[in-house]
Structure 1
């Protein structure tokens, strides 16, 4: 069935998230209590709540999105072209811009969203942050009342599992074994918060996010036994 999906109907994406504020001390007293309770099981008293806060970006309730990178295929007179662009900076504005992209260009029944571990992380995280920021959900992220087969989401991690629900494979490992250039050429996810809050280098994070998005598209090509994208087929549109 996968090879029957037109690549031009898929929007590939990746997000980068960070804790909502730079340090645990900046949280309100109530938010500190709530974070301590939320992470109690993960910490198991082996690490203080303050030291654990650098991981807060993985929860939509305690983090925020600083970049959404997207990519899509375009057929130009029979020549394959892959376009990359990003929405970054102020969270509410980037969510509004991303919603406009979905509403204007990827709102049909045949359109799909695709990410690695997207069903567990990217898609619900974006939806939750939209609600928190009072941004109306686009149809592709509004799952209320939808049946499983009506959810227009592809997940390259799920595709690789082949029904083995206990199996997790990182994007970095999967690209390595499938001969795809690694997206982790500069930084990895564990370094994003430091690059954002300490180095104030959002452009570096955007480039990293775009490499991840490209890697997801390359994975889907490999799953379909298609040729990988070459440099001259990739066009990066300046970030907004």
Structure 2
């Protein structure tokens, strides 16, 4: 791809989300009705009731919440390529969003800085922005698209890069890592299991590890797209 963006200017990220409540019965009646309306088309295809469908609520920012944001960035040492990984996680969504925003504003707020995720333009970036607003936090500049032209938006999407202009094409992170020889991040759980691990197993650390692996995989994909050597385990440092 002859990608020319300085890798040190890119913040790679991935998020993990779950339904706002662990059971349908805990939702207020107005929220239940709104969820039923929002998901009517998808539910009708699978012939599921709103209650049966609620386990998937985490994919909508209006009915879900973020429990982990993992980020990765290349360090400033030109003599040694190193990817640093950090996660913001916990039951307090507002606090983790505040901490994530602080990182953006202190280290990734300049014009040349770019956010990068797989399917980030359709999911991660708008989801974070919506949850920031729900939690009454001022929107970070990197997530505020109002009034910006497409070329002024500092977002990069590895899935979009792989499309090569084909707007009908969807490729999962697992598919691309498999065919391109990138170590798979899906060796433990996948996105469909996150809510169960969070609410039933109460194993947030397992989810954080999964989220970090996805974030590392996104960075690896970008290296692979540019025909650069992949990272070794010793090149990755987790905070």
Structure 2 matches for 1:126-165, cutoff 5 A? 126-165=128-167
In 2, distance between residues paired with 1:77 and 1:4?
Answer: 16
Q: Distance in 1 between matches of 2:201 and 2:220?
A: 30
Q: Structure 1 residues 2, 99: closer, same or farther in 2, change over 3 A?
A: farther
Question: 1:213 aligned to 196, 215, 219, which one?
Answer: 215
Deviation digits for residues 93-139 of structure 1 (CA, Å, limit 9, x no counterpart)? 00000000000000000000000000000000000000000011111
Q: Which residue of 2 aligns with 1:75?
A: 76
> Shift of the alpha carbon at 1:77?
4.5
CA RMSD of aligned residues (A): 0.9
**Gaps spanning 5+ residues in structure 1: where?**
none
Paired residue for 2:173? Answer: 171
In terms of mean alpha carbon deviation, does 73-82 or 168-177 score higher?
A: 73-82
Residue 232 (structure 1) aligns with: 234
Give the aligned partner of residue 85 of structure 1: 86
Could you tell me the TM-score, scaled by structure 1's length? 0.97
Other-structure match for 2:36: 36
* Aligned-partner Cα distance in 1 for 2:191–2:97: 20
Flag structure 2 segments of 5+ consecutive residues without an equivalent.
none
The corresponding residue for 2:67 is 66
Q: How many residues align?
A: 237
**TM-score relative to the length of structure 2:** 0.98
| Match of residue 55 from structure 2 | 54
Runs (4+) of structure 1 exceeding 4 A deviation are none
Per-residue displacement from partner, 1:1-40 (whole Å, max 9, x unpaired)? 8521000000000000000000111100000000000000
Of 43-52 and 133-142, deviating more is 43-52
Give SS of 1:76's match.
coil
Tell me the equivalent position of 1:27.
27
Which residue of 2 is the match for residue 13 of structure 1? 13
User: Which of the residues 102, 106, 109 maps onto 2:108?
Assistant: 106
